Chain A
Amino acid sequence: MATAVQIRQDKVREDLWRPLLQTRGRYVVALVLAGLAGAWGLAAWGYQIYEGLGVTGKRRPVMWAFYITSFVFWIGISHAGTLISAILRLTHSRWRKPVTRAAEAITVFALMIGGMFPIIHLGRPWVFYWLLPYPNNRLLWPNFRSPLLWDVTAIFTYLTGSVIYLYLPLIPDVAHLAEHTTGWRHALYRALSLHWTSSDREWHALERAMKLMAGIILAVAVSVHTVVAWDFAMSVAPMWHSTIFGPYFVTGAIFSGIAALLVVLAIVRKTMHLEAYLQPVHFDNLAKLLVLMSLLWFYFTTAEYLTTWYGNEPWEMAVLGARVRGGYAPLFWTMVVCNFVIPFVLLGIQRLRTIRTATISAAAVLVGMWLERFLIVVPTLAHPRLPAAWGTYAPTWVEISICGATFAAMALLYLVFSKLFPIIAVWEYEEHVSNGRI
């Protein structure tokens, strides 16, 4: 296994600051395209609010579909960053340096996007704030027994924590940038740097804060996706009411999170010419993690399906049959191939494990994990206990537009972020901290 090649320090600053100060034509094109796609999604949402949710493909009994699938998917993606970066920080992994900030940014943006979906999904989105426990003159509180309220609480906590966790390691970098920039950039970086002077006391405080946040964020991240799983598991619907759902969802979230991180790193490496920083060793390590999570996902999925099949309860079997050999079977087997076969073969065999295969496998896992959530949400709802109420579902252009546009929104946020801040923490490469404990 190759170890990370050392890079000269003055070169680090030059390499990582260059994308901030130079804008190429390709960047502008990407920005405009992402912006247009995002605007299309917003227009579709406006149309849906104006006309009513009937413009979607949802119908009784499939009351939840594309939006909830995308919600779970994006909250899963958000486990890329914070969780992986926190684990790597707490275990003092040396190879984490070029990975952490890119990962933490994914978390914040994925949460911002994922958090939108429950609102998009509402019948009356303009009163979404009724879900929040705010003081009001009607003395009405939300229902704390509802898993949806646990969800709101968990996601708000996670978003707050993730923003802090992204921000803390940014402070030394923006302080440096403030010294070397003028105009609005200087004002922005100076404000964000909180007048950081790089004193020993400040480094010590930052180190402690980051360690503390890493610990907290680990617990929060695990609980967030457990709560998302409980949205389903707390109900009495067939194949939702499962005790395994909490850990199953957390596993799936970390799995898809690593996949998202691999895809983003591959794109960043290529477009920002960071080959010297994002080396094969980083992709190799993340690819190994991906295989591990793939195996864990396969184990959980097998446990879930095998016990249901062996138990042979008619209501559960109706859902299982629809997934495995009924109308949803093509999606199911695509999911198995994407989530297990592709990463296991391409990345499990050492000879085949390269940056390219890691990226391909990660992209496949993203597709597979989206399908996994779809297969959890829709077939269960389409097969309620009384067969007379069974139904079907197919998405409309509105749902496809909105869900597709969120990927553009992710790209847009990432493009803007990479223009404002170094995508790799510069200070982590500096001499006086490189031997530190952070």
Chain B
Amino acid sequence: MAHRWGMAIDLDRCMGCEACVAACHAENNLPVSDPAQAAKGRAVHWIRVDRYYEGEFPEIRVKYMPVLCQQCDEAPCEPVCPVYATYHNPEGLNVQVYNRCVGTRYCGNNCPYSVRFFNWFEPKWTAPLELQHNPDVAIRPGGVMEKCTFCVQRIERVKLDAKAENRPVADGEVQPACVQSCPAEAMVFGDLNDPESKVSRLASSGRATRLLEELGAKPKVFYLQRGK
């Protein structure tokens, strides 16, 4: 049976350290914005940590929510692309084809989670940062959209290894960079088609909710938190 990749993020464990953001930058060759562009809102972070404040100072509580591409089953970004640059792959991933993208940015408008990023310029890295590029990940040119891929390069690597050893992919074997780097182990990645996988069990637990679930986009990222 085909895989169907999904993620669970335990909001009660997340402490907002943004290690996932840094790991994602390193893994996926994200350009590092200069301060002026960042101030303009042009920094690219495939995963970001949103902050929500509860209560009034000094009785204030901050809640953190890492937000990445939700890899929706009914993704609003997909049908609007005029050139099929964003499409659904057989494993349920919402894939961006950089070579095909012409940069209409319609997908970005239609993403309710605002997790799609546009390359306003050709990407640049301050020396020596270009030396740490991940050879498994394409450098995106200027003028195209990009977003979280669930570290598709790691998924493919694990699948190839498993095939070479003639065994199925084990649960927890695929670890996107954000999952791997989370010190609180708040993030779990796995196959939603395997009912015994850790992510499947978490997704069907009473603590699981999905972001903006009422829109019917059927995201594959599950947020775990205490019921209120």
Report the Cα distance A64→B116, complex, angstroms. Answer: 14
Residues on B with beta carbons closer than 8 Å to the beta carbon of A123: 101-105, 118-119, 142-145
B120 in contact with A386 (CB, 8 Å): no
Least CB distance, A63 to chain B, in whole angstroms: 4
Closest-by-CB residue of A relative to B110 is: A235
Q: Please state if A124 and B120 are interface contacts (CB–CB under 8 Å).
A: no
The answer on a CB contact under 8 Å between A385 and B112 is yes
Residues A127 and B102 in contact, CB atoms below 8 Å apart = yes
Closest to B142 in A: A52
Interface positions, chain B 6-32, Cβ under 8 Å from A, are none
Given known contacts A386-B50, A386-B113, is B82 in contact with A142 (CB within 8 Å)?
yes
CB distance from A84 to the nearest CB of B (A): 31
One digit per residue, 1 when the CB lies within 8 angstroms of any chain B CB and 0 when it does not, for chain A 46-69 equals: 000001111000111101100000
The reply to whether A61 and B76 form a contact with Cβ atoms under 8 Å apart is no
Provide the bound-state CA to CA distance between A146 and B104, in Å. Answer: 11
Minimum CB–CB distance from B55 to chain A (whole Å) comes to 17
Q: Looking at the complex, which one of A52, A58, A148 makes contact with B106 (CB distance below 8 Å)?
A: A148
Within 8 A of A (CB), among B72-110: 76, 79-84, 100-106, 108-110
Interface centre among B80, B84, B119 (most CB of A within 10 A): B80
Interface residues in B105-154 (C-beta closer than 8 Å to A): 105-106, 108-110, 112-114, 117-122, 141-145
**B84: A residues at CB distance < 8 A:** 140, 142-143
Whether B67 and A386, one on each chain, are in contact in the complex, defined by CB atoms closer than 8 angstroms, is yes
Residue from A128, A145, A234 within 8 A of B102 (CB atoms): A128
Q: What is the distance, in angstroms, from B216's C-beta to the closest C-beta of chain A?
A: 9
- Contacting pair B215 A122 (CB below 8 A): no
Q: How far is the CA of A357 from the CA of B211 in the complex (A)?
A: 54
Known: A122-B104, A124-B143, A142-B82. A63 touches B109 (CB 8 A): yes
Which residues of chain B have C-beta atoms less than 8 A from A142's C-beta?
82-84
Q: Are B101 and A124 in touch, CB under 8 angstroms?
A: yes
Q: Contact between A146 and B82 (Cβ–Cβ < 8 Å)?
A: yes
Check A234–B80 contact: CB distance below 8 A: yes
Known: A130-B100, A381-B109. A60 touches B41 (CB 8 A): yes
- Tell me if A63 and B121 are in contact (CB < 8 A): no
* Complex: A56 Cα to B119 Cα, angstroms: 13
B48 within 8 A of A: yes
Q: Tell me the complex Cα distance, A142–B83, Å.
A: 5
Q: Please, which residues of chain A bring their CB within 8 A of the CB of B184?
A: none
Q: What is the distance, in angstroms, from B33's C-beta to the closest C-beta of chain A?
A: 11
Of A54, A63, A143, A389, which is within 8 A of B82 by CB?
Answer: A143
CA distance A321 to B118 in the complex (A): 27
Is A236 positioned at the interface, with any CB of B under 8 Å from its CB?
yes
- CB atoms of B120 and A389 under 8 A apart: no
Report yes or no: B112 in contact with A131, Cβ–Cβ below 8 A. Answer: no
Chain B interfacial residues counted at CB < 8 A: 42
What is the minimal beta-carbon distance from B111 to any residue of chain A, in angstroms?
8
Interface: A147 (CB within 8 A):
yes
Interchain CB contact under 8 A, B76 and A130: no
A124 engages B80 (CB within 8 Å): no
Are B102 and A389 neighbours in the complex by a CB distance under 8 Å? no
Query: Which residues from chain A contact B100 at a C-beta distance below 8 Å?
Result: 130, 140
Q: Are B50 and A237 in contact (CB under 8 A)?
A: no
Whether A388 sits at the interface, judged by CB under 8 Å, is yes
Residues of A within 8 A of B41 (CB): 59-60, 391-392
- Within the assembled complex, what's the spacing in Å between the Cα atoms of A118 and B114? 22
**Residue interface mask A112-124, B partner, CB < 8 A = 1:** 0000001001111
Q: Are B121 and A52 in contact (CB under 8 A)?
A: yes
Q: Is there contact, CB below 8 Å, between A388 and B120?
A: no
In the bound complex, CA of A71 to CA of B145 (Å)? 21
Interface residue B40 (Cβ < 8 Å from any Cβ of A): yes
Residues on B with beta carbons closer than 8 Å to the beta carbon of A231: 106
Closest to B211 in A: A386
Is B80 in contact with A53, judged by CB distance below 8 angstroms?
Answer: no
- For the complex, give the distance between the alpha carbons of A123 and B106 in Å: 11
Q: Are B121 and A60 in contact (CB under 8 A)?
A: no
Contact A60 B42 (CB under 8 A): yes
Contact assessment for A54 and B80 in the assembled complex, using a CB-CB cutoff below 8 Å: no
A90 CB to closest chain B CB (Å) equals 34
User: In whole angstroms, what is the CA distance A122 to B143 when docked?
Assistant: 8
> With A64-B109, A235-B109 in contact, do A149 and B102 touch (Cβ < 8 Å)?
no
Contact of A63 among B102, B113, B118 (CB under 8 A): B118
Most buried by B among A142, A148, A231, A391: A148
B51 within 8 Å of A by Cβ? Answer: yes
* Minimum Cβ distance to chain A for residue B47 (Å): 13
Most buried by A among B50, B104, B120, B215: B104
A19 within 8 A of B: no
Contact A122 B103 (CB under 8 A): yes
| Assembly CA distance A3 to B144 (angstroms) | 59
In-complex Cβ contact of B105 among A64, A131, A147 (8 A): A64
**CA–CA, A236 to B122, complex, Å?**
30
Interface centre among A147, A237, A389, A391 (most CB of B within 10 A): A389
Q: What are 26 A-to-B residue pairs whose CB atoms are below 8 Å?
A: A52-B121, A53-B118, A53-B120, A60-B108, A61-B114, A63-B109, A63-B118, A64-B105, A64-B109, A118-B104, A123-B102, A123-B105, A123-B142, A123-B145, A124-B103, A127-B102, A143-B81, A143-B84, A146-B79, A148-B104, A152-B82, A237-B109, A385-B212, A386-B112, A386-B114, A392-B41
Other contacts beyond A52-B122, A142-B83, A392-B41: 4, CB < 8 A? A59-B40, A60-B118, A386-B112, A386-B212
| 7 closest cross-chain pairs (CB), A and B | A123-B103, A123-B143, A54-B120, A389-B114, A63-B105, A388-B50, A52-B121
